[in-house]
């Protein structure tokens, strides 16, 4: 994660992450495979998965340079009624780089590995993705819609770089994306840590979680962080939104500490997701980027509504 001032003032850092069912489905689809069989599926070196509980499948996908820890309370609550798949992306939060050690782009490889993992489970899943995980989920919904029954995106836009320049394109932002990646790689360790500490205060309200998110980011492979940061900055999903058929809910945060008033943030999300048919937008107040730890009760209620959607 990079220091806020190196990208953009205001909301510009808010996409950055801190830094895997046995009964028949109510829609009459085939029963989910057993938990034991799910454990034979793997992330092809792109990610590892911890599977808990039984029931309909829910994948929890964290953000850039993050561990699954911010989703821990969600997993603990859902595992009584769902089979929860907590994803750890290789190279983040101290996890070995695995297949992510190779050259990029990395996001398409992650999307492909997720598609294969879900295919191994034998039925579509619900996916909840935070930040970069939300963008990855959106890419999966566009490329492999048969893999998802529903998608929740937590505090992520379909094109991050509109926060830098409302008129940005994937091509126009490329020099800044490359420069940002180079800056991440070039920083001395002490300067990088200091920048991360400042950034975390803009992403998480809870002081304990600020520290946990910080340590996850510092334990992440900086080369992978730099490469995926540049990829995210150049990934514009807006032209592809009209083709997406997966029911999608987008949660976004607002807090008094943010420089933009609620109406401005609301218009930002409405305008950028306007092309996605049937999208449901829901604002969570008194939260920064890590909605699940800043407002756990509101987040839990939103997840319950999302999973109850037919």
- Reported as a single tens digit per residue, the pLDDT across 267-285 is 999 999 999 999 999 999 9
Q: How far apart are CA 203 and CA 213, in angstroms?
A: 9
CATH (domain of 263): 3.40.50.1820
Q: What is the mean pLDDT of the chain?
A: 89
Which of 78, 140, 154, 86 lies closest to 308 in space, CA to CA? Answer: 78
pLDDT confidence of residue 36? 37
- Reported as a single tens digit per residue, the pLDDT across 233-266 is 999 999 999 999 999 999 999 999 999 999 999 9
- Reported as a single tens digit per residue, the pLDDT across 63-120 is 999 999 999 999 999 999 999 999 999 999 999 999 999 888 999 999 999 999 999 9
Within 8 A by CB and 6+ apart from 224, the residues are 91, 92, 97, 100, 106
pLDDT confidence of residue 34? 39
Model confidence pTM above 0.95 = no
Mean pLDDT of 169-188: 97
Mean pLDDT of 196-224: 96
Question: In terms of residue numbers, what domain contains 37?
Answer: 4-308
Residue-level length of the chain = 310
Within 8 A by CB and 6+ apart from 304, the residues are none
Three-state SS for 303? helix
Mean pLDDT of 293-307: 98
pLDDT confidence of residue 309? 82
Which of 64, 69, 76, 82 lies closest to 125 in space, CA to CA? Answer: 82
Q: How many domains does the chain have?
A: 1
Q: How confident is residue 201, by pLDDT bands cut at 50, 70 and 90?
A: very high
Q: How far apart are CA 230 and CA 174, in angstroms?
A: 8
């Amino acid at each position: 994660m990079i220091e806020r001032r190196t990208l953009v003032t205001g909301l510009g850092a808010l996409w950055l992450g801190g830094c895997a069912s046995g009964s028949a489905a109510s829609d009459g689809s085939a029963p989910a495979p057993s938990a034991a069989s799910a454990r034979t599926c793997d992330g092809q070196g792109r990610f590892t998965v911890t599977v808990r509980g039984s029931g309909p499948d829910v994948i929890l996908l964290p953000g850039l340079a993050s561990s699954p820890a911010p989703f821990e309370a969600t997993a603990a609550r859902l595992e009584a009624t769902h089979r929860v798949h907590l994803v750890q992306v290789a190279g983040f939060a101290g996890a070995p780089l695995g297949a992510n050690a190779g050259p990029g782009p990395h996001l398409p490889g992650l999307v492909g590995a997720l598609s294969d993992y879900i295919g191994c489970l034998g039925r579509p899943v619900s996916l909840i993705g935070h930040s970069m995980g939300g963008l990855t989920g959106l890419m999966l919904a566009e490329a492999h819609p048969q893999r998802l029954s529903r998608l929740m995106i937590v505090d992520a836009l379909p094109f991050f770089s509109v926060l830098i320049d409302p008129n940005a394109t994937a091509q126009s932002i490329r020099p800044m994306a490359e420069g940002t990646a180079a800056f991440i790689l070039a920083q001395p360790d002490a300067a990088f840590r200091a920048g991360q500490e400042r950034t975390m205060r803009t992403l998480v309200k809870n002081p304990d979680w600020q520290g946990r998110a910080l340590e996850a980011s510092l334990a992440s492979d900086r080369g992978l962080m730099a490469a995926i940061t540049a990829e995210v900055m150049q990934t514009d999903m807006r032209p592809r939104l009209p083709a997406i058929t997966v029911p999608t809910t987008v949660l976004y945060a607002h807090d008094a500490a943010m420089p933009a008033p609620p109406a401005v943030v609301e218009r930002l999300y409405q305008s950028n997701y306007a092309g996605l048919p049937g999208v449901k937008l829901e604002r969570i107040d008194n939260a920064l980027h890590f909605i699940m730890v800043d407002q756990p009760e509101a987040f839990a209620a939103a997840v319950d509504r999302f999973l109850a959607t037919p």
